[in-house]
């Protein structure tokens, strides 16, 4: 290397006197920041509006009876949705038990083994499944479970919701696993850890928080679904803990009460909606806290 060479590199860059930042740009800077804040507010506004309105309409009907009793016949005051709250929890439990492992498994396949034609087919089908109207999913569960069992059941409702959860969980899991750097996988391979072990204990574990976000999104989405439960879980006015019997669900109860002509039922429908949303928020928050509790400093 010679000296003239290194000098000329510097000489190649022309001297530029940067003009001071103009007023227009400074104003624009603030305007754009304002726009960004505004859009956030716009996005959050409906959420708060819905929640506030639910509280306003529903809180009055929430009492101990509402949370502990089954519905009363029309005209009798009191009664509650306890059986529907329990039914929703059972149905969502079944849906999560079936849908979460299946979805995560599919996501693992897509990310770790599906970087090929076959994976593309699965991806495409999963995206299509995501777009299938929920009532159609209900028909599928009807055909798969109800027709065979000869009656409606919590299991059928759970299967319908599980089918809805799978594509969302699969695709987010895939995306989250792809974000894990190849170097992390190589580190495990380099220690003589087998591929499936690496996938489960290293890759999936590194992506845990993202995968859980996907699971919670899917969960929250199906928790409020009504259409797929109409002819699967069907609803029930009484307590039922058997998974092969028609089961009440909050969303079904809200639907039935909301389209009824009775004021008392309308009020209870509002209360039911409030309880449903609180339950969803509580479930998501609980999982988040549990995950954060297990996370190390600096991770």
Partner 1 sequence: MGVGITVEHLNAFYAKTQALFDINITVQANHATALIGPSGCGKSTFIRCLNRMHETIPEARVEGKVLIGDLSVYNGTSATQLRRRVGMVFQKANPFPTMSIYDNVAAGLKLNGFRHRKQLDEVVHKSLHASALWDEVKDHLHKKSGASLSGGQQQRLCIARALAVQPEVLLMDEPCSALDPISTGKIEELIFQLKEQYTIVIVTHNMQQAARVAEFTGFFLLGKMIEFDKTEKIFTNPSDKRTEDYVTGRFG
Which residue ranges make up the site for partner 1 (CB under 8 A)? 115, 181, 183-194, 197-198, 201-202, 205-206, 208, 295-299
Q: Which is closer to partner 1, CB of 184 or CB of 283?
A: 184
Tokens encoding 179: 């974000």
Q: How far apart are CA 171 and CA 63, in angstroms?
A: 41
Q: Which is closer to partner 1, CB of 18 or CB of 183?
A: 183
Least distance (Å) between residue 187 CB and partner 1: 4
Q: Which is closer to partner 1, CB of 171 or CB of 185?
A: 185
Least distance (Å) between residue 63 CB and partner 1: 45
Q: What angle do CA 164, 169, 174 make, to 5 degrees?
A: 140
Least distance (Å) between residue 209 CB and partner 1: 9
Q: How far apart are CA 111 and CA 243, in angstroms?
A: 34
Q: How far apart are CA 215 and CA 2, in angstroms?
A: 61
Q: Which is closer to partner 1, CB of 112 or CB of 174?
A: 112
Q: Which is closer to partner 1, CB of 39 or CB of 201?
A: 201
DSSP code of residue 145: I
DSSP code of residue 154: H
Q: How many CA atoms lie within 13 A of 298 on its CB side?
A: 0
Closest by alpha carbon to 98, among 151, 152, 166, 170? 166
Tokens encoding 99: 């849908």
Q: Which is closer to partner 1, CB of 104 or CB of 155?
A: 104
| Residues 203 and 177: beta-carbon distance below 8 Å | yes
**CB 134: neighbour CB atoms within 10 A?**
18
Closest by alpha carbon to 68, among 275, 278, 283? 275
Least distance (Å) between residue 182 CB and partner 1: 9
Least distance (Å) between residue 207 CB and partner 1: 9
Least distance (Å) between residue 2 CB and partner 1: 13
DSSP code of residue 228: G
């Amino acid at each position: 290397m010679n000296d003239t060479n290194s000098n000329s590199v510097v000489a190649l860059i022309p001297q530029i006197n940067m003009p001071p930042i103009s007023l227009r740009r400074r104003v624009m800077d603030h305007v754009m920041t304002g726009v960004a804040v505004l859009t956030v507010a716009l996005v959050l506004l409906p959420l708060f509006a819905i929640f506030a309105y639910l509280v306003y309409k529903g809180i009055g009907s929430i009492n101990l009876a509402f949370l502990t009793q089954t519905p009363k016949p029309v005209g009798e005051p009191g009664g509650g949705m306890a059986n529907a709250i329990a039914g929703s929890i059972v149905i969502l439990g079944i849906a999560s038990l079936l849908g979460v492992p299946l979805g995560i498994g599919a996501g693992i396949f897509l990310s770790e083994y599906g970087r090929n034609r076959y994976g593309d087919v699965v991806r495409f089908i999963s995206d299509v499944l995501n777009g299938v109207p929920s009532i159609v999913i209900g028909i599928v569960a009807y055909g798969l479970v109800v027709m065979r069992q000869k009656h409606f059941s919590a299991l059928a409702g759970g299967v319908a919701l599980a089918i809805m959860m799978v594509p969302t969980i699969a695709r987010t899991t895939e995306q989250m696993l792809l974000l894990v750097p190849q170097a992390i996988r190589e580190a495990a391979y380099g220690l003589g850890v087998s591929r499936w072990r690496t996938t489960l204990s290293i890759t999936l574990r590194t992506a845990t928080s993202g995968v859980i976000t996907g699971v919670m999104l899917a969960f929250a989405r199906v928790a409020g679904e009504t259409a797929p439960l109409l002819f699967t879980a069907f609803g029930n006015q009484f307590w039922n803990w058997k998974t092969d019997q028609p089961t009440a669900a909050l969303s079904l109860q809200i639907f039935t009460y909301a389209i009824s002509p009775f004021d008392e039922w309308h009020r209870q429908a509002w209360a039911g909606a409030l309880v449903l949303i609180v339950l969803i928020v509580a479930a998501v928050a609980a999982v988040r806290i549990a995950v954060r509790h297990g996370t190390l400093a600096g991770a």
